[in-house]
Structure 1
Amino acid sequence: MKFHRLVTPVFVAVAASVAAFIAVVFVAAKLQDEATIESEAKVVEQNFIRVHQSLAVLAEDNAWWDEAVENLSVEENVEWIDATIGESVNGIKNIQGVIAIRRDGSLLYSNFVGISSPPHAFLDAGLAELARNYPTPEVEVPHSTSGLMVVEGELIAFGASVVQAAGIREFPQQVIENRHPIIVFLSRLPPEVLAEIGHQTAIEGLKLFKDKPVSDALLPLTGLDGKTAAYVSWETAAPGSKMIRKLILPALILLGLVIVAMVRFVHQANRLVDELKDANHAKSAFLASTSHEIRTPLNAILGFTELISLELYGKVEGTKNKEYLSLIKEAGEHLLSIINDILDISKLEAGRFDIYAEKVDLRHVIDGSVKIIQSQANEKNLELALECEAGSLYSDERIMRQVLINILSNAVKFTPAGGRISLRGTIRGDRYCLVIRDTGVGMSEAELKTALSLFGQVQGEYARSHTGTGLGLPLVSRFMELLGGRFDISSTPGAGTAVRLDFPLYQSKSNPPTP
């Protein structure tokens, strides 16, 4: 078991979880901040509207009045205007100016306190145009408008209303239908007014800017001409950002605990992997030792069985006795084959399988392997088709032969009577490609995965009648890796199996396969 394969998924999962948590927190904080800014912008906008609408109410109170019609429209009594309407500038808080404008846009009256700009600057800034285009309201019905305007670089709130008869006094029809002047009340928006708005709304740092500032909390103010007159910014509450700042310390503590836990996990996992490696080596050593100890007396049993069968030291009487000897030999050979497989896999896992490189005649190895399984194939009436090019290389002939025998034995074992097994060998570049096909029962993808695992045995009616250790294909795979070759297998249920073995064509002992 490789250590990095054990810990990498854990590290990836932990890192992904931490990253996802941080992303969720930051996204939630950002969304909360954006919602707060949007809410604050609406509050600020409503308060600015409230400021200039209050001026419109004041203008309407002074314009919807029979006395106003008499003294502004009929007589243009400046003394009355100054004493009645102009006095509002001195008596009402946050009113710095009042202007009366004829409907042709000319100035009728003005009174400023605290405003340095001259009256004509206000007319030029849009009030003259407003008077000329002011809609004619219904008779004896008040009408007002309000908004913001920029005069000589200063933001001014205004409220305007057209002079209109209230209906208490009777005027000639001609007077009633005249295009009466408009009265406009003006209010500057100095920092004190902004501070008052901020105090009323609990929004801090309200500031006006002529040019657009760099700020997330920003509201453009539309002027009398429909263009942006100014920008107002403020210090947003930013609850999301505040939450993140409050979470920094707990998050760092939590991250520290995670790091400590991961360090401990790595230490424990490393120790576990070492213990598993030691246990695996001990198991492999035990299997190798045990297999070797079993193989020695088993070879003796097979040897003596062979001697008795040859009747060198006396006749073996009776047909049954000869049959029993044959069964003993077959069972012993089967058991020896199993022990050899276990011994080989144990050596491979323990990393103690030695390779003896020599010049190998490929055709000779293939023919020899086919001869070994020829009798088994004949018993099942299987057709063996051999079409292989000649070739030679430096490799371990013993391992190559064992690979071929394992593949061919499986092909014979799992191909029904009357089937066909073909071998085709060709030289392709720097490799010798050997493809072995059979018309056997085949395997599904899941069964193939099982067959390639150690001690894995495919379950099925046909497979259960042909028992084995489940080491054949795993041994082939590891042997091919050991030889520097490649092993590929494909199978289709009911159609058969195809195995491809690619042997590297090493041409000298300077670059043979090494374990």
Structure 2
Amino acid sequence: MLEYMASDTDEAMLNSEANMLRAQIKQSAVNISSTAEDNSVWNAAYDNIFTNFNEEWLINNYGENVQFLSNINIFLVYGVNNNVLYSSSEMGQPPPAKLLASGLGSYLSTLTVDDNITTVKPTGIIEVDQRLYIFGASLIQRSDNPDTTKITPERRPAVIFFHELNETSLSIIEENLSLDNLQLRIDDENPGNFLNIDQSVSKNIFMTSDTIYFQWNAKTPGADFRHQLLTPLIIVISLVTLAFLYFYKSASNMFTALRELDKTKSNFLANMSHEIRTPLNAIIGFSQMIKNETFGKIGGEKNSEYIGHILDSGTHLLSLINDILDLSKVEAGEITLHKEIFKVQDVISEAITGFKPLMKENGIKLHNMIGDVSITSDVKLFRQIIDNILSNAIKFTPSGGRITLSNNIKKRKLEISVTDSGIGMTEDELKTALTTFGQVQSAYSRDHQGTGLGLSLVAQFIKILDGKMNIASQKNQGTTVALTFPI
């Protein structure tokens, strides 16, 4: 019985490790496919690659963007005439012709779209010269086309990203999943602990080798436990082992379910936000054209008023969706920093310019006292932090109020202070505002509803930049947000 229990435990552990590895490979493919979608569902790409091929545009845009993508070893743009329009790869990688000759080229030639809005983004695994790659592809498509009319199925150029499962990437997977000596094997041996590269790992597989699999040294808690037993205690320890196995399996199943639930939530938020953003951009664009009377006068004051409401609501909803996308990226750990030296004053001035119409409409005065100082940081993330803080200050400052921006340098740290004369918060309200989706309830705040992600996102963004955020606020007196960044 003890032998059976040990064997059953070790088999369960092996299956658990294989399932974790299978899930990791699938998730990597999804991430690469999302990267391909971001670089193909794009009006400019549609116009310059599919409609009127512009090689200079392709090189200038993809050549510059692709080199900053982590975990991408090869990049291709494959044309509708089965030709490579553009390629970029690390040194020592196989040429595009070999990748396509594996069967991938024939497969891509079968992909079509039958409308101008649906995204086609397959994933798969390809083996070339006994080297294994995960690929994600996406057909060129418009990003804001409201036309849902079906068309005759047609081919589109495909954007394809490849990630090699080499020694480096396997070591990362090994560490993340706590596997021992994870290897990629291509031979005819019959290993004890392995995961075949088959349909359970990916639907689309293109390989020339007959046998290819992952192998590692699986944990053997059952056998290890058995070897340590003393003969006089076998019966007692057997009962303990049964209890341990029950607890271990229950805890493992609970942990796996919670992790999958969190991952599903993040993927749902990201996917839904992407799906909503495309038609929403069209609504905002058409509403703006109608409001501006681009194609003729609007009949009736009420019609003009309602169009304004549609435009304002659409813009507000787009802001909420962008917040949700940022949250999903933070939770998935998908934010990659691109640090550079930039002038803080320039970035903040650009942010202020974007808020000037809103401040003028609300009768709010802003005093910009930011000095001439430069820092090394991620300028995009820095701008998002400033935008969120300014947006909150404007949103919760009544008409006739003021906002002041100033800076101070201490011990190689830059402190930026944003002070407003707004409604302020109590200590308990501040704690609520800093939680994810937390919203302070008041008569004024109910007129300025959002996702409740603003301060929570800022706190997470500034942590990623190795900075700090301190907030001092008094009810009906105003708020000061102090942001500290490494120089």
TM-score band, normalised by shorter chain: 0.3 to 0.5
| Higher Rg of the two aligned structures | 1
Query: What's the TM-score, normalizing by structure 1?
Result: 0.46
> Normalization by structure 2: what TM-score?
0.48
